[in-house]
Amino acid sequence: MNPPQLLDGKSIAATVLDECRAEAAALLEKGIRPGLAVVLVGNDPASQVYVGSKTRTCSDLGFHSLKIELPTETTQEQLLKVVQDLNADPSIHGILVQSPPPKHIDEEAIIRAIDPRKDVDGFHPENVAKLVLEDPTGFVPCTPAGCMKLLEVSGIPTAGAEAVVIGRSMIVGKPMALLLVSKISNATVTIAHSLSNDLPAICRRADILVAAVGRPEMVKADWIKPGAVVIDVGINRVSDPSKKSGYRLTGDVAFEEVAPLCSAITPVPGGVGPMTIAMLMKNTLQAARQFHP
């Protein structure tokens, strides 16, 4: 087989961000500055890195960026008050509460408290319903939207393809399946998970395999149909004494053994990750446009 096409999320995300920058400039000429508020509760190092990246990207695009950092001991009531204040702030079009919050916070209640018109993560029940209904005014969760953009820009056809999504979370798995089965994509979709009977056999049917299960290098070579397209959503830290950091980043797919079998595959890092932030910026622009039609 020929070497696989590497689906370069960095370069595709850069193109999306260039489009966002131009659109933000056009809105600014009309007196509208897209605004995104990112709320971080606690001091989780990975969350701090993600939040920093999101706020830097906002600033680079000319958005109004508001970062609110709250201590770990912040109560549910205090966090709800912050969300309510942001809901009422006309300079903020998008609100994101970084996940996961500390264990004492009811994350579902926080998601439901966000004005669905500002829910640029796409997790509010109203936006989930709009995704099911294929209503374009809703917000699509950023990671699945980024995966679809990767497929689209890379010229990978989905119509009639057999797609398997490993994972059933509301963040990736379920919305990914809905996007693939939509009237735009027209794939035939199976949602599988860690408890599926004979998971490797299910995966071997896939023309497009999306791994979003959160287990390092779980997907092995004998799970892959030759010529399949593999989208690896996972990003896991694995101990590696040879690295200065003491760890390496890996996906849910055993890349070195799987890649030779694929027609196309995403690397980790540099595949899906950059697309997630790019699609968050697109959602924020959509929110700003919908507030100022």
Q: Determine the distance from the C-alpha atom of residue 92 to the mean position of all C-alpha atoms in its chain, rounded to a whole number.
A: 21
Please give the DSSP secondary-structure letter assigned to residue 141.
P
**Residues ≥6 apart with Cβ < 8 Å to 24:** 33, 34, 61, 62, 63, 285
The secondary structure of 98-124 as a DSSP string is: PSSPPTTS-HHHHHHHS-GGG-TTS-S
Measured between alpha carbons, how far is 230 from 251 in angstroms, rounded to an integer? Answer: 11
Q: Which two tokens stand for residue 268?
A: 């980790």
CA distances from 111 to 102, 125, 285 (A): 14, 9, 20
Q: Where in the sequence numbering do the catalytic residues fall?
A: 54, 98, 121
- Helical H segments across 67-218, by residue range: 76-87, 107-113, 125-133, 142-153, 173-181, 199-203
How many angstroms separate the CA atoms of 45 and 52, rounded?
Answer: 11
Radius of gyration of the chain (CA): 19
Q: 3-state DSSP call for residue 185?
A: coil
Q: Nearest-5° angle of CA 219, CA 220, CA 224?
A: 90
DSSP bridge partners of 208: 163, 229
What single letter denotes the amino acid at residue 46?
A
Decide if 126 contacts 78 (C-beta within 8 A). Answer: no
